[in-house]
Chains A and B, each alone.
Chain A
Amino acid sequence: NAGVTQTPKFQVLKTGQSMTLQCAQDMNHNSMYWYRQDPGMGLRLIYYSASEGTTDKGEVPNGYNVSRLNKREFSLRLESAAPSQTSVYFCASSERRAGGGWNEQFFGPGTRLTVL
């Protein structure tokens, strides 16, 4: 049981290049999330997918797109990378709770992205 996996672990891009960060979970969770973590800013939500087939913007969606490929996989795409997107990116997943309440989010190990 690998939990949440992310690829790649590290990436260096030049300004204007594009790339896709991959995330997969094997816990059969309905909800998945993408965060970025920057010094002094904490973790900020970029996009989330409450269930397969749906995606919604979080706090900082500009410059990103997402695809919920199936229940297991949720990818994050940078179409034209900018130095401001240098960050550590975390994917997370949780079970959906139809009646309210909260379920724990499980995080992946992160992708360290540098945009030159």
Chain B
Amino acid sequence: QKEVEQDPGPLSVPEGAIVSLNCTYSNSAFQYFMWYRQYSRKGPELLMYTYSSGNKEDGRFTAQVDKSSKYISLFIRDSQPSDSATYLCAMIDYTGTASKLTFGTGTRLQVTL
């Protein structure tokens, strides 16, 4: 069983829809939770991160962490065609001096006009 599970999609939604992306994990030692966005043929770029449980909002994006259920979510409001990308969840069990990330497989999102 993978440490981090993520539905690969693809997920297709119309412009303006609310999108919900989710990951589950098994390692209770994970402390930091991130969402990366990856456009086609590009490297991932950090979208949001949260520490421990709770919600964090940034514009149209909301990240939610429920450590008791080992479940994280990313909500995108008023989705735009420019949001079409692969979204990767990532987590870290911080040890030592290097930040070793564990990634989900990514969910491919397509926002249509």
Contact = CB atoms under 8 A, between A and B. Distances in A.
B43 A104 contact: no
B99 A42 contact: no
Interface residue tally of chain B, by bracket? 20 to 34
Nearest to A107: B43
A98 B97 contact: yes
Contact of A50 (B94, B97, B105): B97
Interface in B19-44: 31-32, 41-44
Contacts of A58: 100
Interface residue tally of chain A, by bracket? 20 to 34
Given A104-B49, A107-B44, A109-B42, A42 B88 contact: yes
B94 A102 contact: yes
Contacts of A42: 4, 6, 88, 103-106
- For the complex, would chain A's binding face be called helix, strand, loop or mixed by DSSP majority? loop
B104 A31 contact: no
Contact of A104 (B46, B88, B96): B46
A58 B98 CA distance: 11
Interface of B: 4, 6, 8, 31-32, 41-46, 49, 51, 88, 90, 92, 94, 96-101, 103-106
Given A33-B98, A42-B105, A107-B44, 17 more contacts: A30-B97, A31-B97, A31-B99, A33-B100, A40-B105, A45-B100, A49-B98, A56-B98, A90-B43, A96-B97, A101-B32, A101-B94, A102-B31, A102-B51, A103-B99, A105-B46, A110-B41
